[in-house]
Amino acid sequence: MAIRVAFIGAGSIGFTRGLMRDMLCVPELQDTEFRFTDISARNLDMVTQLARRDIVYHKLPATILATTNRRKALEGADYVINCTRIGGLEAFKLDIDIPLKYGIDQCVGDTLCAGGIIYGQRNIPQVLAFCKDMREASAPKALFINYANPNAMNTWAAIKHGGVPAIGCCHGVQGAHWQITHVIELWAKTTGRLPKDYVSPGHEPWNDRRNKMVWGLHRREVPVIAAGLNHQTWFIKVMFQGEDVTARLPELFGKHPVYPKTEKVRIDVLKRFGYFSTESNGHLSEYVAWYRKRPKEIKDWIEMSSWINGETGGYLRVCNEGRTWFKTDFPNWLKETPQPIGPDHRSEEHASSVIEAIHTGRVYRGHLNVRNGGCITNLPPACVVEVPCYVDKTGIHTPIVGDLPPGCAAVCSASAWVQRLSIEAAVRGDVTLLKQAMLMDPLTGAVCNPAEISQMTDELLIAQAEWLPQYRREIPKAKKRFAAEKRLGTKSVQGAARVRTQTVADMKRHAAAARANAAAADKAKMTRKGKRR
């Protein structure tokens, strides 16, 4: 019997089609009934046209029901995948620009720091509304698969307050695992542990022409254990040829031809803590207190060939460019030959593998975001952790990881408390808890004093009132406070390393790169000029 998979926020350009194609790579899932829903009828229609064209071209039995009626889309669904960006790019701009006035310079702003916290306030009420619809209309024990950021907060809220089975999925571990594989490959080929021309069986090598290297080792030959919080997950064990090489990583990353320039924050954290962290230079720099608190020092820690290496508001820029290009270039997308569908063209996103494992019984091992419950023994049991999981026909199983290294646990503990305060603030509409979350956030607290944090939070609430229904009684009070106070946010909104957003005319000069950016679910691979790395 065909399963039903619902996508909320199906107007997402990269995720919806990519995840659908991944599922269609599995023979047992090729008759899936997909349900697409979005509040934007235009975005939904464009993505649906492309997705239906993929199915028809490959002569597959899958079907798509597209509707702006979310409840209808969730009726009888076995899996519900959340790809939403609540508030859209309009709210996202406020997440970046308002904190900048107070000196908080963010690269991404979607997980922690001031932008991630207020983003969670927009997301969590909607996540709970999705869960309510699932409880009332979806199949019994339907699984909520969250891809939307702030991932840990959304997933935690769904588990604690939503009353449905829920996991979070992210590609951060996979991306960092490839980086670890590259530095090990360089070392192994230099020391004779691998032949100079070694390529893993069945692996398509990557020719890095700029650095005159061919990366041929596949990450499956480098087993890892990663554990922590989403976007703050640590590789606590890395194996190669039967040897634990975890302690070698600081030296190996230092010898790589590119990473010492592009990953300065991550390599500094690796040297000081002894373990590599999943997230990119730009992500990690805004989750801790040390690298973005002094504007004059920010450029010492970032690199501008790609937005993800630390560009101010870089993710906002590439998302704006991608959405603009998609709307402009959509007729050409319809004329393209659809991408191949099959095992060799499946992405490394977890969702299709989780669904395949539950549906067929084939065991899948992946790093998923789940309730801790004692898996990481020195983090709070209630928090959501990113850890190795095994999935089969009986469900999702999490082994005991044990203690994180003390320094890694300390970093994650601070973030977990910010997440907990943020979730409770969002659920209750409690401004005091929200301001406490901002106070406790590492970078926000390093940059701003309490009065600045309080005023910034009020300004964010006022500016984003239309997306914050739980604060409707508090926002008039915030307006009154804000009007009575001297303006404390007087700094420029330019930031230490901001890049101009490209116009359509700019992007037309590099149309292939613009299309790749628009289609990418993982925009971390895009360079400053919009090209794929």
Query: Which positions are annotated as active-site residues?
Result: 171, 287
CB within 8 A of 478, min separation 6: which ones?
431, 458, 461, 462, 471
Query: Residue 289 in contact with residue 442, Cβ under 8 Å?
Result: yes
Element (H, E) at 147: none
Give the 3-state secondary structure of residue 105: coil
Please give the C-alpha separations between residue 145 and each of 151, 159, 187, 302, 434, in angstroms, as whole numbers: 10, 11, 38, 33, 26
- Dist CA 503 CA 24 (whole Å): 35
- Dist CA 217 CA 316 (whole Å): 33
311 alpha carbon, distance to own chain's centre: 17
Query: Residue 231 in contact with residue 151, Cβ under 8 Å?
Result: yes
Among residues 413, 415, 387, the alpha carbon closest in space to that of 234 is found at 387
- Dist CA 28 CA 359 (whole Å): 8
- Dist CA 76 CA 479 (whole Å): 43
Query: Residue 142 in contact with residue 134, Cβ under 8 Å?
Result: yes
Q: Is 228 left (phi over 0), alpha (psi -120 to 50) or beta?
A: left
Structure tokens at 96: 């970046």
Among residues 281, 262, 175, 173, the alpha carbon closest in space to that of 225 is found at 173
- Dist CA 24 CA 60 (whole Å): 8
Question: What residue type is 218 in one-letter code?
Answer: H
| Adjacent-strand bridge partners of 364 | 391
Structure tokens at 375: 């898996």
Structure tokens at 150: 């702030």
